[in-house]
């Protein structure tokens, strides 16, 4: 199965990778819906929506402090794993057109991919609530911001919490540029035009359960692409998969890359 999937990639090229939280699981970042995942430990209604976060900050700041400390713990240590590196190598070798990722952890860029479409935003980027200008943070500065947010939450002063948010040069306050539940997903037209031209859609580490991003690989199938799905468990794409490569991405992807190198 691995050899055949590698053969499709080498023969067809124009791979578009579609990734989810599972590809970063071996980098120490929890997935959302697995046992012990983020939504298993923190309620998505409280931590996956703007209203929920504001409510928790005002009423139960300790819960938000635990959520932030959990994020600091995983983000501060996270680095690209062999699955990210394999996808970066595919781009370097001219096999991959782009990565469309649901992740906000910046690990594809860190691994060396230049063509990355982030449909749920990027955790290291803020967007002004007044003029929509974006402000990029280094990981170090972002972690500093999170630590300051914990301090202000402990002060229980809402003004000081708002004051801790970065200011835009227009004078507006900036918020994290990540897509929360109920908010518009980013880069959808760009994603559809890329997936339309894909000859292979390489799905890695996603349950395929969150609309509208989850529809992107299906559109690729309709446009004639071969579907390769890498996951330890069967996904919602079982009905369109041409190849289901069962296993953790950090193990399967380097094996797939080895088969590809042998065919080049």
- Pick 120 or 199: Cβ nearer ligand APR: 120
Residues paired with residue 174 on neighbouring β-strands, in sequence order: 128
- Pick 25 or 191: Cβ nearer ligand APR: 25
Q: Which residue is nearest to ligand APR (CB)?
A: 22
Rg of the chain, C-alpha, whole Å: 19
> Strands 121-128 and 174-178, how do they pair?
antiparallel
- Pick 113 or 231: Cβ nearer ligand APR: 231
- Pick 1 or 170: Cβ nearer ligand APR: 1
- Pick 113 or 207: Cβ nearer ligand APR: 207
Q: Which strands form 134-136's sheet, in the order they lie side by side?
A: 134-136, 121-128, 174-178
Active-site residue, selected from the candidate residues 14, 84, 108, 120: 120
Query: Shortest Cβ distance from residue 250 to ligand APR (Å)?
Result: 6
**Structural tokens at position 59:** 């009423």
120 assigned to active site:
yes
| DSSP-assigned letter for residue 165 | S
Structural contact between residues 234 and 248, judged by C-beta atoms closer than 8 angstroms: no
Query: Shortest Cβ distance from residue 47 to ligand APR (Å)?
Result: 10
> Strands 226-231 and 200-204, how do they pair?
parallel
What does the alpha-carbon distance between residue 37 and residue 27 come to, in Å, rounded to a whole number? 14
Binding site for ligand APR (CB under 6 A): 20-23, 25-26, 31-34, 37, 102, 120, 205-207, 209-210, 231-233, 235, 248-250
Nearest to 204 by CA among 27, 78, 10: 27
- Pick 31 or 113: Cβ nearer ligand APR: 31
Query: Shortest Cβ distance from residue 193 to ligand APR (Å)?
Result: 21
| DSSP-assigned letter for residue 167 | B
Contacts of 18 (CB under 8 A, 6+ apart): 99, 100, 101, 195, 201, 202, 203, 204, 206, 216, 217, 220
Query: Shortest Cβ distance from residue 222 to ligand APR (Å)?
Result: 21
- Strand extents, DSSP E, 88-240: 96-101, 116-118, 121-128, 134-136, 174-178, 200-204, 226-231
Provide the annotated active-site residues: 120
């Amino acid at each position: 199965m691995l050899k055949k999937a590698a053969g499709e990639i080498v023969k067809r090229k124009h791979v578009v990778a579609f990734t989810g939280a599972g590809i970063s699981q071996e980098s120490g970042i929890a997935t959302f819906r697995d046992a012990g995942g983020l939504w298993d430990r923190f309620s998505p209604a409280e931590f996956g929506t703007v209203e929920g976060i504001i409510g928790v900050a005002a009423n139960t700041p300790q819960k938000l402090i635990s959520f932030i400390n959990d994020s600091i713990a995983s983000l501060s240590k996270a680095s690209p794993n062999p699955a990210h590196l394999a996808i970066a190598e595919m781009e370097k070798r001219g096999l991959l057109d782009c990565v469309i990722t649901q992740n906000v952890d910046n690990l594809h860029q860190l691994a060396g991919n230049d063509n990355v479409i982030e449909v749920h935003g990027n955790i290291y980027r803020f967007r002004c609530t007044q003029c929509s200008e974006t402000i990029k943070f280094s990981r170090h500065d972002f972690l500093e911001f999170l630590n300051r947010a914990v301090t202000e939450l402990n002060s229980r002063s809402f003004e000081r919490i708002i004051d801790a948010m970065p200011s835009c040069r227009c004078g507006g306050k900036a918020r994290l540029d990540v897509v929360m539940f109920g908010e518009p997903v980013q880069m959808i037209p760009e994603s559809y035009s890329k997936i339309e031209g894909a000859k292979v859609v390489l799905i890695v580490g996603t349950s395929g359960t969150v609309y509208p991003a989850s529809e992107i690989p299906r559109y690729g199938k309709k446009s004639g692409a071969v579907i390769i799905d890498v996951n330890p468990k069967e996904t919602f794409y079982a009905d369109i998969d041409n190849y289901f490569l069962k296993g953790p991405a950090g193990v399967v992807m380097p094996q797939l890359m080895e088969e590809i190198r042998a065919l080049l």
